[in-house]
Structure 1
Amino acid sequence: MAAELTAHHRRLAQQKREAITAAATELFLDRGYDGTSLARIAEAAEVSKSTLFKQFPTKAALFEAIVTESWQRDSGDVGDTATRPEAGDLRSGLTAIGNRYADLIGRPRMAGLFRIVIAELPRFPELGRMQFELGKLPYFASVQRYLEAEHEAGNAEVPDAESAANQFLGMIANYVLWPRMLLTGWDPAAADVDHAVEEAVRTMLARYAAAPSA
């Protein structure tokens, strides 16, 4: 019984946390980071101020959580041995990574996060630092580690895995994410996103696939 109550309380806490981060993201977009108070976020999330302050004592801590959770949500860590594609099939591995990345950056929450950072960067440069250091950089590093593993296994010739990771993810983001920053109606069909990922994979294979042994 005690275990059931504990699990129930954890679920409630997680639901409140998600309500808080969702409300904060919307308010940051609508009113700006500086124009949004923690009290207003608590009201929009329909939680008490004490509940919000217990989880997020400052607005910076709340934004940090939004960044971290946005990049990690359902994305896994392709650099972690538990979720990283197994070395041996570069095409399959890149396709899995590319599809996961396209899904991640294609979500409205991610586009909203970038808009917040871009709009507030002149006054709050720390928001850009959080987005880069807590979100984008770890994700890119995880892809870099995958490419290094394929290189070490002899399945790819990637002398500069950092550049290769930026090239691969950049090709996908240039189609899936960045037009959304300028075009309000940008919403490519799933088949078009799949095609963009496939073309990025083909480009990577042409550049980095190991030459067949004689």
Structure 2
Amino acid sequence: MNADGSSKKASRAGKGLMPSVAKTARARRSKSHGGRPTKSDAAERDRRLIDVATALFLERGFDATSIDAVAAAARVSKLTLYSQYHDKRGLFGAVLRQEIERWLAPLATAAEMPVSNRSGLSIEKSLVDLGRKLQAVSGEAGAWSVGRILAAQAGNFPELASLANEEGWLKAVVTTAQLFDRLAAKGLLEIADGKIVAEAFLHIVLGHNMRCAMYGIPIDPKGQDKRLRLSIRMLLTGLLPKSQQGYGYPLAAQEIES
């Protein structure tokens, strides 16, 4: 009886300890093996993964970059990568979205800048400053290279081209048009169609540089800035109300000739 009674007591005691033991074991497994990552850990992992994928795509191109290489360099499992992006096309789409978001940031800020009591001079200077910011972001290492990869793969993956057009270019046009529409609403510019003016502005800022980047032609910073300033001056010449035609961001003769 004593033996049986002791055995039953031990069993009951063991059952009482089981939840605590299991909880401790789970905590140890979580600590030693990482467990389920927190939101901040997952976000950091995703940022690292996209940064690594971007670097490899730029270094090797789309075709020569493998999922295995990205997973190994980012220190994540292939299962994690596939569950998140499905395939290499999805991974490149994430890289493309990151580049688009980075490029759109200056436009989003400019679209919300104050526009009241602005003379033609300050409008022109603000647009020149915005153009310089966009050129700086676009000129950073790798920015145009992503565009070249996209151009090469557009025939194979038209959805990536649609992504770049819809989330990149068209969104940039709409965001820039908001700025011009607000200037027009204040009577500071005379605009019939804000989107067309926005497209013209973006072509002025990026068109020449994009062609140079696609063809591997070096960009002359001095010539780039001269082209930007004079082109924006010409754009505004047709948009400023007659009462403000005399205003402008002053360009010295030596600046124009240089």
Q: Report the equivalent of 1:101.
A: 134
Correspondence for 1:176 among 209, 222, 227: 209
Q: Report the equivalent of 2:161.
A: 128
Q: 2 CA distance for matches of 1:86 and 1:51? A: 45
Correspondence for 1:210 among 219, 222, 241: 241
Structure 1 counterpart SS, 2:105: coil
Q: Report the equivalent of 1:110.
A: 143
Native 8 Å contact 1:90 1:156 kept in 2 = no
Quote the offset at 1:149 in angstroms: 0.8
Structure 1 outlier segments of 4+, above 6 Å: none
Quote the offset at 1:160 in angstroms: 1.5
Quote the offset at 1:192 in angstroms: 3.7
Q: Does 1:69 align with 2:98?
A: yes
Q: Which moved more, 1:55-64 or 1:163-172?
A: 55-64
- For residues 3-53 of structure 1, what are the alpha-carbon distances to aligned partners after superposition, in whole Å with 9 as ceiling and x for unaligned? xxxxxx666545543432233234445655455442332123333324434
Q: 1 CA distance for matches of 2:223 and 2:75? A: 39
Q: Which moved more, 1:36-45 or 1:174-183?
A: 36-45
Quote the offset at 1:77 in angstroms: 5.5
Whichever structure has more helix as a proportion of its residues is: 2
RMSD over aligned Cα atoms: 2.9
Correspondence for 2:224 among 172, 193, 198: 193
C-alpha distance 121-20 of structure 1, shift in aligned 2 (>3 A): same
Native 8 Å contact 1:171 1:200 kept in 2 = yes
Aligned partner of 2:112: which letter?
A: R
C-alpha distance 13-199 of structure 1, shift in aligned 2 (>3 A): farther
- For residues 57-114 of structure 1, what are the alpha-carbon distances to aligned partners after superposition, in whole Å with 9 as ceiling and x for unaligned? 4434322322221122275253568x62221342133123212211222123221111
Identical aligned residues as a percent: 24
Q: 2 CA distance for matches of 1:92 and 1:10? A: 42
Q: 1 CA distance for matches of 2:202 and 2:124? A: 15
TM norm structure 1: 0.79
Structure 1 counterpart SS, 2:107: coil
Q: Report the equivalent of 1:86.
A: 114
Q: 1 CA distance for matches of 2:140 and 2:220? A: 12
Which has the greater radius of gyration? 2
Native 8 Å contact 2:49 2:74 kept in 1 = yes
C-alpha distance 91-119 of structure 1, shift in aligned 2 (>3 A): same
Aligned partner of 2:178: which letter?
A: R
- For residues 152-175 of structure 1, what are the alpha-carbon distances to aligned partners after superposition, in whole Å with 9 as ceiling and x for unaligned? 111101112111111111122123
Aligned partner of 2:142: which letter?
A: R
Structure 2: where are the runs of 5+ without partners? 1-37, 245-258
Structure 2 counterpart SS, 1:208: coil
C-alpha distance 79-150 of structure 1, shift in aligned 2 (>3 A): farther
Q: Does 1:41 align with 2:73?
A: no
Quote the offset at 1:142 in angstroms: 0.6
